[in-house]
Amino acid sequence: MSVLITGGAGYIGAHVVRLLRDRGDDVVVVDDLSGGDATRLGDTPLVEFDLVAVDAVDRLREVVERHAVTSIIHFAARKQVGESVAHPEWYFRDNIGSLANVVEASAAAGVTRLVYSSSAAVYGLPGGAAVTEDDATVPINPYGESKLVGEWLVRDAANAHGLRSVSLRYFNVAGAGWNDLGDPNVQNLVTIAIDRTARGLAPVVFGDSFDTPDGTGVRDYVHVMDLAEAHLAALDALATAEGPADAVVYNVGTGRGASVREVLAGLAAASGTDLEPIIDPPRPGDPPSVVADASRIAAELGWRSTRTLDDMVDSAWRAHEWRARTSA
Ligand code: WQD
């Protein structure tokens, strides 16, 4: 299999690149390195350009032809909720524009297999029960809107071009499969809490009066290695005649919720530092609980998460410590 991976120099993409290379697949990465790190890629071919540049379709076609690409995984996107609220035009231009160019290049070059990086953010404020793929998609920020429109685009491309696609709705990703692939972006609970703990600062809890078992927010944390393996399951399904014939959507989560306090307790155990958290008011619009029903991907692709919350927090902490040691 020869796979083109956009955004492959990013946190999640680099895990998928390494798993594919380790099993012997050919990989070529397209990344503008605006958020990615080329050192994650080793000797994997990297072609650096902006996926919304005016010549992006032609350049993608060149890469497909030169590397005899049979499948594409599209990770490249902006993914900061707060930034999307401040600059929605960036998210519609870049997240949808880059995907549109990938779809156009795929159609022109005859590539019919695409795995698309979507998000649980498409659900917006789901009710308290586990979220299924058939639940309402009412995103509450431009980031989630851009991910949902991307799902519509790949669905329409199935009708227009015969594009077979799997959209993966990520829940809360954390952890590291290798120390050098840890998430350096201090933008989500685990990485923010690790950063603060490493600096001797107490972690901050955004609200402890939610209608949840311990009052703090509950999310479905999924190990980045489990998530990466879900991409390989999707690629392998698309490579078979029995695989998806058009556009399918899967939640990628564990089906188990964990509260902020549970995550912080895991970090205290991993780091050996237990600082009493600061309790701040809840963030506007923060849902009390978002947990996946991941039964469809299990039934149809045979994928299930296997790693625990402690695996995620321990590996994330070790990767942070490794980065601190090696960059000192
Ligand atoms: C998790 C929980 C916060 C920081 C993400 C993004 C996006 C998406 C998954 C892929 C919440 C609480 C956080 C802190 C805290 N993934 N928190 N203190 O809000 O679920 O959103 O969903 O697209 O990454 O949309 O993730 O990590 O910001 O928050 O108490 O310092 O941790 O209130 O309950 P969230 P998050």
Instruction: Delimit the domains of the chain by residue range.
Output: 2-173+222-252, 176-220+254-327
- Select from 122, 186, 219, 267 the residue to mutate for testing ligand 1; criterion: most ligand atoms less than 8 Å from CB: 219
User: 30 pairs with which residues across the strands?
Assistant: 6, 47
Q: Identify which of 79, 88, 244 has the alpha carbon closest to the alpha carbon of residue 167.
A: 244
Q: Identify which of 26, 37, 41, 30 has the alpha carbon closest to the alpha carbon of residue 7.
A: 30
Pairwise CA distance, residues 182 & 178, whole Å: 7
Provide residues with CB under 6 Å of ligand 1. 79, 81, 119-121, 170, 172, 188-189, 192, 204-206, 217, 219, 260, 283, 286
Torsion of CA 71, 76, 81, 87, to 10 degrees: -130
pLDDT at 128: 78
pLDDT at 180: 97
Q: Identify which of 36, 40, 41, 44 has the alpha carbon closest to the alpha carbon of residue 2.
A: 44
Pairwise CA distance, residues 49 & 59, whole Å: 8
CATH architecture under which domain 176-220+254-327 falls: Alpha-Beta Complex (3.90)
Q: What is the CATH number of domain 2-173+222-252?
A: 3.40.50.720
Spot the catalytic one: 116, 143, 221, 250.
143
pLDDT at 127: 84
Q: How far is the CA of 14 from the centre of ligand 1 (A)?
A: 22
pLDDT at 242: 87
pLDDT at 101: 98
Query: Block means of pLDDT (10 residues each) for the chain, length 328 residues?
Result: 97 98 98 95 98 98 98 97 96 98 98 98 92 97 97 98 98 98 96 97 97 97 98 97 92 98 98 96 93 98 98 98 92
pLDDT at 328: 77
pLDDT at 87: 97
Q: Please state the φ and ψ torsions of residue 223, each to the nearest 5 degrees.
A: -65, 140
pLDDT at 295: 98
Give the residue whose CA is nearest to atom 14 of ligand 1: 189
